[in-house]
């Protein structure tokens, strides 16, 4: 897929700074090797140098709910060892922050697909597109980890991801066609995306018409064993045009009218316009929104 400026977020734009270097090393080790404990991480494998440093990093990650902490019996009688395993939250943070998508997609799918089933779709996607959509989906789904278990949150992430692939690619007709090809190749994922769009249509009044057009014009063709790609391209052009009209017509018209309105206020010299033009501008915006319909 061609990389169009403005479609994909760069990884530096989305990376958060809340993980320390030690925590990142710890998370990366667990992603690659699975569950671990402080002595193994600090002394046996020499990842962090000392058991104390490893213990601090592991406990901090557990406190942030990126790892699950569980006491198990050690080799000696009456002794316990604290084992740390990756949580769904930890996997998502690692995928967003640690450039894990540069790894072999098949390896990631086999290693962690059970925790985040969405990874099973990774080989289908351009890595940057997948990373951008996952970052946006995880940003919205992250608060849900406090309420729901990992399995439920994984479903929420996939729903958000299905929404984001169209939000990200709607700025490019070529991007939308690439998504359509992925959906044609994977009937299960196509059904998932269509269901998500139907849910979105029920609550998104502004874009309901566009979503309906996509379901009726594009998905009906993708269901065929040999879809007419020229017909799909024509449909995407129509949807693309409607999207820009519905989303930006109001804003463009409002900006134009507001500019003319403020110039008029200055011309008639009604004092300090800045002190009271906000209320007038709000009234103007309401008038524009009522007069412009998609």
Tens digit of pLDDT for each residue in 87-112? 999 999 888 888 777 767 788 888 89
Do residues 157 and 137 lie in contact, with contact meaning Cβ atoms separated by under 8 Å?
A: yes
Q: Is the pLDDT of residue 3 over 50?
A: no
Q: Is the pLDDT of residue 257 over 70?
A: no
Do residues 28 and 54 lie in contact, with contact meaning Cβ atoms separated by under 8 Å?
A: no
Q: Is the pLDDT of residue 256 over 70?
A: no
Q: Which of 131-135, 160-164, 174-178, 275-279 has the lowest mean pLDDT?
A: 275-279
User: 152-157 long-range CB contacts below 8 Å, 24 or more apart?
Assistant: 153/88, 153/89, 154/88, 154/115, 154/116, 154/117, 154/118, 157/92, 157/116, 157/118
CA distances from 160 to 58, 189, 293 (A): 29, 13, 27
Rounded to whole angstroms, the Cα distance separating 236 from 280 reads: 39
Neighbouring CB atoms inside 10 A of 269's CB total 7
Q: What is the pLDDT of residue 58?
A: 92
Q: What is the pLDDT of residue 76?
A: 67
Segment 7-26 mean pLDDT: 62
Task: Tell me the Ramachandran region of residue 104: left when phi exceeds 0, alpha when psi lies from -120 to 50, beta otherwise.
Answer: beta
Share of the chain above pLDDT 90, in %: 12
Segment 147-152 mean pLDDT: 88
Q: Which residues contact 58 (CB under 8 A, 6 or more apart)?
A: 26, 36, 37, 38, 41, 67, 69, 82, 84
Rounded to whole angstroms, the Cα distance separating 19 from 128 reads: 22
Q: Is the pLDDT of residue 283 over 90?
A: no
Q: What is the pLDDT of residue 207?
A: 67
Q: What is the pLDDT of residue 87?
A: 92
pLDDT tier at 40, thresholds 50, 70, 90? confident
Neighbouring CB atoms inside 10 A of 201's CB total 17
Q: What is the pLDDT of residue 252?
A: 47
Rounded to whole angstroms, the Cα distance separating 176 from 197 reads: 14
Rounded to whole angstroms, the Cα distance separating 85 from 70 reads: 8
Segment 152-178 mean pLDDT: 83
Domains defined along the chain, listed by start: 20-86 (1.10.10.10), 198-291 (no CATH)
Output the pTM of the full model: 0.68
- Return the closest-CA partner of residue 115 out of 88, 142, 96: 88
Segment 258-282 mean pLDDT: 50
Q: What is the pLDDT of residue 273?
A: 45
Q: Is the pLDDT of residue 268 over 50?
A: no
Segment 113-117 mean pLDDT: 91
Q: What is the pLDDT of residue 115?
A: 92
Q: What is the pLDDT of residue 88?
A: 92
Write the burial class of residue 212 (CB in 10 Å: 0-12 exposed, 13-18 middle, 19+ buried): middle
More confident site: 13 or 73: 73
Per-chain mean pLDDT for the chain: 76
Q: What is the pLDDT of residue 161?
A: 92
Segment 167-190 mean pLDDT: 82
Segment 53-74 mean pLDDT: 87
């Amino acid at each position: 897929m061609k990389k169009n400026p403005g479609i994909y977020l760069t990884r530096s734009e989305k990376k958060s700074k809340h993980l320390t270097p030690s925590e990142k090393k710890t998370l990366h080790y667990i992603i690659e090797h699975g569950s671990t404990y402080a002595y193994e991480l600090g002394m046996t494998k020499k990842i962090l140098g000392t058991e104390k440093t490893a213990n601090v990093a592991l406990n901090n990650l557990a406190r942030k709910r990126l790892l699950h902490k569980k006491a198990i019996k050690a080799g000696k009688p009456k002794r316990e060892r604290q084992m740390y395993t990756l949580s769904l939250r930890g996997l998502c943070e690692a995928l967003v922050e640690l450039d894990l998508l540069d790894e072999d997609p098949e390896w990631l799918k086999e290693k962690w697909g059970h925790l985040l089933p969405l990874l099973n779709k990774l080989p289908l996607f351009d890595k940057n597109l997948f990373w951008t959509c996952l970052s946006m989906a995880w940003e919205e789904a992250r608060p849900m980890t406090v309420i729901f278990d990992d399995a439920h949150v994984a479903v929420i992430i996939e729903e958000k991801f299905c929404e984001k692939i169209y939000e990200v690619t709607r700025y490019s007709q070529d991007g939308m066609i690439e998504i359509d090809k992925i959906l044609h190749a994977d009937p299960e994922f196509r059904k998932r995306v269509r269901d998500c769009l139907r849910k979105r249509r029920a609550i998104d009044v502004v874009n309901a018409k566009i979503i309906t057009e996509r379901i009726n014009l594009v998905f009906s063709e993708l269901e065929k064993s040999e879809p007419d790609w020229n017909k799909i391209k024509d449909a995407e052009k129509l949807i693309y045009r409607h999207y820009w009209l519905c989303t930006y017509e109001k804003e463009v018209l409002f900006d134009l009218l507001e500019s003319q309105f403020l110039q008029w206020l200055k011309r008639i010299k009604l004092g300090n316009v800045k002190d009271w033009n906000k209320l007038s501008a709000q009234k103007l915006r309401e008038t524009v929104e009522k007069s412009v319909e998609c």
